[in-house]
Amino acid sequence: MFPVLFTLGDFAFPTYGLLYLTSFLVSIAVLARLTRTEAMPFGKMYELGFGIAIAGEAGARLLFIIVEWDRFISGAIGMKQFLVAGRVVLGGVVVGSLYCIWVVRHYNLKPSRMLDGVLTGAALGMSIGRLGCLAAGCCYGKPTDLRWGITFTHPLAEKLNGTPLGIPLHPTQIVQFTAALLLFVYLLQLHRRKRFDGEVSAMFFLIAGLFRFGNEFLRGDPRGEAAGITTSQWVGLGMSAVAAIWMIYRSRRHRIESCG
């Protein structure tokens, strides 16, 4: 829609870049807010948040390379395209979460409690980030005859992302924005009534994984696949399966502890 926010001489500032940066900062602010009662200085919360953001960025980049390896080798994906939109969100979520668990142990905090705050912020960050995808034209949907289809016309979207121009496409970015925003609201409410630490994280992985599996059927950009489904669908299914097992285990343990 609007891939370039403004230009200064020969430099074009991408809208995606601003929204992506905003998503990081908002996620970190939510983390610091939700975990402010922990035995960690407030400033350290922001330091932890930036560390998670960097780890998440690395994970998102790495999974993109894995998914698009054949196109990297063939030269179909150039360095400029990779720098602008070379990310797979689920890779960032997984790596960022693992980094969080590893780091908080040094502060003698409960990783599951901290991760609840991290992933609640991540849900809001993912929502804002999808607006960046809409502006850039990446993560686009398949062609559709439905009235909700959106049509991209900016030549830069096609140049950087291969976005089809002049064709109504499923509004996958808007669907993902809405779903992530609703997930954030739900997780925020769950924080106030959760039964045990880690419940919020489990619900994030369960819901986000299942949604991503379904939404992938609407995506029209090259996804990379194995056994008939995309890499992101495999990651989503794995996230949901692990979350479901964790929920069953912790729910049973919570009932035993409550009765004891």
Domain residue ranges of the chain, discontinuous segments joined by +: 4-194
Spatial separation of the C-alpha atoms in residues 67 and 87, rounded to whole Å: 10
Percent of all residues in the chain with a pLDDT value above 70, rounded to a whole number: 85
For 96-105, the pLDDT digits (tens) are 888 888 887 7
Spatial separation of the C-alpha atoms in residues 179 and 7, rounded to whole Å: 32
Name 254's bridge partners.
none
For 1-22, the pLDDT digits (tens) are 677 766 666 666 677 777 877 8
pLDDT confidence tier of residue 192, bands split at 50, 70 and 90? confident
Lowest mean pLDDT among 100-114, 163-177, 201-215: 100-114
- Enter the pTM of the model: 0.81
| Bigger pLDDT: 69 vs 141 | 141
The amino acid sitting at 117 is G
For 145-177, the pLDDT digits (tens) are 999 999 999 888 888 778 999 999 999 999 999
15-47 burial, b if ≥16 CB within 10 A, otherwise e?
A: bbeebbeebbebbbbbbbebbeebebeeeebee
Looking at residue 253, its pLDDT comes to 80
Spatial separation of the C-alpha atoms in residues 202 and 147, rounded to whole Å: 35
DSSP summary character for residue 3? -
